[in-house]
Structures are given as C-alpha cells and as structure tokens.
C-alpha cells in the first residue's frame, strides 16, 4: 500500500473562489454543454442568414428579424441551466459537492456565476455572429443595419444577455425542483407556454412573458405597441432569474440534500 503523504491544511477557509473554480472545472470537463452551446450559436447564425436572405420590405425592423433565432435558442441555455443543478441530483454528486462545500447558498451562487458567465459569453457570440451573418445575407436592395445605428447595438447585446438570463432562470428552477424532467417542463411551460397564454389573456399581460420580452422588447430597434421598453424588459428577466435563484437558495439551505 502506498504511504499517505501528509498534506498541508491551507490557512483561512474555503470561499467563493474555490467553489467557483470547482464549478468551472465541472462545466469544462463535460462535452455535452459545449455541444449544446455550439448548436445554440450555429442555430442563431443559420436562422439569421436565412431570415436576412428572405428580407423584402424596407420598413421592417431588420435587426429584430435577423435575431429571430434567439427566442427558440433560449430553450437550450435554459435547459443547460436546469441541468447544472439537476444532473447532480440524478447522480448523487450533489451530496459530495455539499460535503466539500457545506454552505449551500455559496454553491448555488458559484454555479450561477460560472454558468451565467459562460452563457453570457456564448450568448453574445451567438447574437453578434447572427447579426453579422444576417446583415451579410441581406439582398442588395435592402439597407443594412449597422451597430452604429440607433438602438442596433443595444438590440444585439441584449439578445446575448437573454440567453444568460434564461439560463440563470433554469439554474434557479433546477435548484427548486431538483428533477430534470419536471424542471425542464416548468421551464418550457413558464417561458413559452405561459407567455403565450398571457398574450391570450391581454396584450399587455403578454408583454411580460419571457419569450415576448426577448423577441419584442430586448431585440427591437423600433418600439412595439404592447411591448415593454427594452431596459424594463431586461429588468423583468433579471427579476425572474433572481426570484428563481433566491427561492432555490432558500430551499437548498432548508431541505435535506
């Protein structure tokens, strides 16, 4: 048997930076998230190029149209966010994680910070590449929007933030629900179905649905009637994610692991 070499116990105590490093290594060391994120980017670019090539009207909000791949793509980062939590419950890894770092709220904060950063970077890559692909494929007869035009940079940048915020909503839902299928169902129900149902209720209620916020508030350069202003929309998405993460954090601390 190999003799155990004594290791030095570090000074201080474990903190956010150590837990975040653990979570970053967890994300980095799996292939599936990177495939999913690649698909997210490729889908956004593909849809943008197709929409750009089909654009006919001068009057349309071209920027908003070519960012049309963002709303369906949100589902991918949302589900990945759910899996950040629920995959650990599926395997039992969560209990090892909590024995390594017993402060559960710190674990959730670290997971959200790491996944939020990854999904923000990937989201911005997706939205900016989509914008350039879409504008490049526009017919010559259509005036191409540029990032220097009013509201265009904001629309493209907030589209990227949308991926991140729906991803964080997923992390929070994963912490609350803990089971992958149920959490994904609630995510899809909350983001897509409830949003559509709200539109049926009234147009102004519908403007609070997450997909509606991304499609009609964040990514528009021309303000739509019955849509939240872009920054108010961003605030609502932040609120949804913060609520889910806050409730998730409280439940993690209270419940048995």
Partner 1 sequence: MIVAEGLVKRYGTTTAVDGLTFTVQPGKVTGFLGPNGSGKSTTMRLILGLDTPDAGVTRIDGRRYRDLRWPLHEVGSMLESRAFHPGRSARAHLVALAASNAIGNSRVDEVLDQVGLADVAQRRAGTFSLGMAQRLGIATALLGNPQVLVLDEPVNGLDPEGIRWIRGLLKSLAGEGRTVFVSSHLISEMAATAEQLVVVGGGRLLADTSVAKLSAAGSGSLEEAFFALTADSAQYEVASQWAGSTTPANPRRASGMTRP
In the complex, the residues that contact partner 1 under the rule CB under 8 A are 1-2, 4-7, 9-10, 12-14, 18-19, 21-23, 25-26, 29-32, 87-88, 91-93, 95-103, 256-257
Q: How far is the CB of 94 from partner 1 (least distance, A)?
A: 8
Per DSSP, 1 falls in state -
Smaller CB distance to partner 1: residue 12 or 200? 12
- Please, what is the minimum distance in Å from the beta carbon of residue 205 to partner 1? 40
Q: How far is the CB of 196 from partner 1 (least distance, A)?
A: 34
Q: How far apart are CA 230 and CA 126, in angstroms?
A: 19
Nearer to partner 1, 58 or 256 (CB): 256
Alpha helices in 92-178 (DSSP H): 93-100, 104-136, 152-177
Q: How far is the CB of 5 from partner 1 (least distance, A)?
A: 7
CB of 6 to partner 1, least distance (A): 6
Of 46 and 102, the one with the shorter C-beta distance to partner 1 is 102
Between 24 and 132, CB nearer to partner 1: 24
Is residue 140 exposed (0-12), middle (13-18) or buried (19+ Cβ within 10 Å)?
exposed
Cβ atoms of residues 191 and 74 within 8 Å: yes
> What SS3 state is found at 35?
helix
Kindly compute the dihedral angle of the four CA atoms of residues 120, 188, 42, 114, in this order, to the nearest 10 degrees: 30
Residue number with CB closer to partner 1 (111 or 154): 111
């Amino acid at each position: 048997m190999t003799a155990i070499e004594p290791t030095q116990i570090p000074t201080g105590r474990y903190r956010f930076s150590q837990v975040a490093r653990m979570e970053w290594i967890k994300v980095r060391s799996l292939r599936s998230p990177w495939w999913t994120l690649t698909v997210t980017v490729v889908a956004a670019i593909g849809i943008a190029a197709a929409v750009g090539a089909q654009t006919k009207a001068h009057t349309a909000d071209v920027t908003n149209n070519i960012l049309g791949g963002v709303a369906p793509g949100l589902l991918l980062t949302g589900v990945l966010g759910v899996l950040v939590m629920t995959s650990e419950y599926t395997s039992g890894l969560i209990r090892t994680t909590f024995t390594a770092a017993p402060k559960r709220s710190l674990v959730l904060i670290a997971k959200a910070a790491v996944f939020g950063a990854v999904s923000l970077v990937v989201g911005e890559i997706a939205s900016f590449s989509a914008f350039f692909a879409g504008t490049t494929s526009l017919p010559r007869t259509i005036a191409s929007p540029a990032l220097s035009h009013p509201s265009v940079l904001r629309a493209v940048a907030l589209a990227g933030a949308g991926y991140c915020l729906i991803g964080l909503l997923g992390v929070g839902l994963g912490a609350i629900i803990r089971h992958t299928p149920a959490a994904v169902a609630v995510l899809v129900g909350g983001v897509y179905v409830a949003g559509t149902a709200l539109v049926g209720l009234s147009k102004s209620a519908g403007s609070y649905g997450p997909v509606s916020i991304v499609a009609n508030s964040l990514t528009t350069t021309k303000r739509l009637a019955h849509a939240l202003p872009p920054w108010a929309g961003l605030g609502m998405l932040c609120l949804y994610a913060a609520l889910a993460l806050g409730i998730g954090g409280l439940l993690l601390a209270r419940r048995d692991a």
